[in-house]
Amino acid sequence: MPDKPLFILIVLAGLVVLVILMTGIGGFARGGEFNRKHGNRMMRWRIIAQAVAVVLILLFIWARGH
């Protein structure tokens, strides 16, 4: 199955998004210096990671269709 490595990459991308999201939410909940310094940056990284994950998912769907 040639699309299996792509599926594993999608799962890893989803986990990266989850880790970034949890770190951002945790920093927001605690507040303080970390949130002031890194809150917006964490959410920007989350958006980028989500975009990469969505592109990988679409590529996986396209590869399965061909």
pLDDT tens sequence across 4-61: 899 999 999 999 999 999 999 998 898 888 888 988 999 999 999 999 999 999 999 9
Which whole-number Å values give the CA distances from 19 to 24, 41, 50, in the listed order?
9, 14, 12
Which residue type sits at 19? V
Q: How many whole angstroms separate alpha carbon 42 and alpha carbon 20? A: 7
CB burial class (10 A; 0-12, 13-18, 19+) of residue 24?
buried
pLDDT at site 1:
53
pLDDT at site 38:
87
Q: How many whole angstroms separate alpha carbon 31 and alpha carbon 46? A: 18
